[in-house]
Amino acid sequence: MSTPPALTSPPTGRVPPQNVFSDVDSGFGSSINGTDSNYATTIGSEVFSYVYENGRRYHSYREGIYVLPNDDREIERLDLYHHIFNVLLGGKLYVAPLGANVKRILDIGTGTGSWAIDMAEVPPNCKFEVDDVESDWMSPKNYYDFIHARSLSGAFQNWELLLKRCFDHTTPGGYFEFHDYDAELKSATGFILTPANSDLANWWSLVTDAASKSGRSFKVATSMKERMEKAGFVDVTQRIEMWPLGSWPKDPRMKEIGRWGKVGLSESLHAFASALLTRVLGWEDEDIKKLCAKALKEMDNTDQQYHCHAYFISGRKPDLEEE
Ligand SMILES: C[S@@+](CC[C@H](N)C(=O)[O-])C[C@H]1O[C@@H](n2cnc3c(N)ncnc32)[C@H](O)[C@@H]1O
């Protein structure tokens, strides 16, 4: 990792342009990490070569491990989710009380890089690197002032190890932040959704069971606060926001989010089910498409007030004198 450029503008009320590393994303990376890390890679054939399964494109870097596609449909889905997260946070990109001295920021599993690009404000402040966050990190310990991890539930086998790395590589006094939705599909009418009474719940139950069987569970957000505390972070705060999945809310802002939420969920149906159900449960794609079509039909014809919750959790690495 090269030395970050000096800040060009003095800090203002808002965190100034940063050196944002959209790092260790094994799927969408674009720049160079010419180190000798086990999986770090210069941009090469492996990163830009893809594998195709059931009409979806997947990255071939560490093929078969990450279960979501990286084709144009998925890129649009991630952009929509970026927007939803942003609106849920009232236009903010983070919840941590970041000071003016934040210089190095890391966005792990950056995807399309939307968060990192917004955070960096100007392109020279953002560098993309391709690496595997589950392997040893090449950056020094106590290096990043802020590490951000969003929408990564289901991506990793060992969150304890990942959190330890995030802790070790954060500067004392720096912050780590986790943003994701929980893996729980609920109805605000009080109706308890189960696979037996809901095709949507059936889809989600099959997907989450397959993910758990593969060792990369989606059920991460609700226990993340505790896990971060165990990893050593202090002053851990948790903000939970309702994420409507339909235009049922009366409040206009929530209604709008619900409209996007429903589009996002309908685009997630096949993206989430395809690789997991074929690779882990041995399903045929034709049956997966039927499963998704039933779930979509239910979403279009229901009075149920579907929603889940988004979790925004932030923790600080203690200063040296606090240890
Ligand atoms: C659902 S996307 C979220 C992208 C982005 N964080 C966002 O919120 O828009 C998950 C990303 O994690 C990346 N990823 C999965 N496993 C990874 C690993 N072991 N190392 C680095 N990145 C990984 C995938 O390539 C994908 O880009």
215-273: pLDDT as tens digits: 999 999 999 999 999 999 999 999 999 999 999 999 999 999 999 999 999 999 999 99
Between strands 56-59 and 126-128, the pairing is unpaired
For the chain, the first-to-last Cα distance in angstroms comes to 28
Confidence band (pLDDT; 50, 70, 90) for 47?
A: low
The answer, yes or no, to whether any atom of ligand 1 lies below 6 A from the CB of 109, is yes
Taking the centre of ligand 1 as the mean of its atom positions, its distance from the CA of residue 190, in whole angstroms, is 34
The answer, yes or no, to whether any atom of ligand 1 lies below 6 A from the CB of 151, is yes
pLDDT of 46: 57
- pLDDT score of 76 more than 70: yes
Task: Give the number of the atom of ligand 1 that is nearest the alpha carbon of residue 59.
Answer: 25
Confidence band (pLDDT; 50, 70, 90) for 22?
A: low
d(CA 276, CA 137): 27
For the chain, percent helix, then strand, then coil, each to nearest 5? 35, 20, 45
Number of CB atoms found within 10 A of residue 322's CB: 10
Q: What is the DSSP letter of 155?
A: T
Most confidently modeled of 16-20, 34-38, 118-122, 279-283?
Answer: 279-283
Lowest-pLDDT range of 48-57, 77-86, 147-156, 169-178 = 48-57
Work out the angle at residue 158's Cα, subtended by the Cα atoms of residues 154 and 160, and round it to the nearest 5 degrees: 115
Most confidently modeled of 38-47, 59-68, 234-243?
Answer: 234-243
Work out the angle at residue 87's Cα, subtended by the Cα atoms of residues 83 and 93, and round it to the nearest 5 degrees: 80
Taking the centre of ligand 1 as the mean of its atom positions, its distance from the CA of residue 154, in whole angstroms, is 10
- pLDDT score of 13 more than 90: no
- pLDDT score of 35 more than 50: no
**How confident is the model over 285-290, as a mean pLDDT?**
97
The answer, yes or no, to whether any atom of ligand 1 lies below 6 A from the CB of 69, is no
| 163 within 8 A of 223, measured Cβ to Cβ | no
**How confident is the model over 193-209, as a mean pLDDT?**
97
**How confident is the model over 273-297, as a mean pLDDT?**
97
Mean pLDDT of the chain: 86
Provide φ and ψ at 159, rounded to 5°: -70, -30
Work out the angle at residue 12's Cα, subtended by the Cα atoms of residues 9 and 15, and round it to the nearest 5 degrees: 90
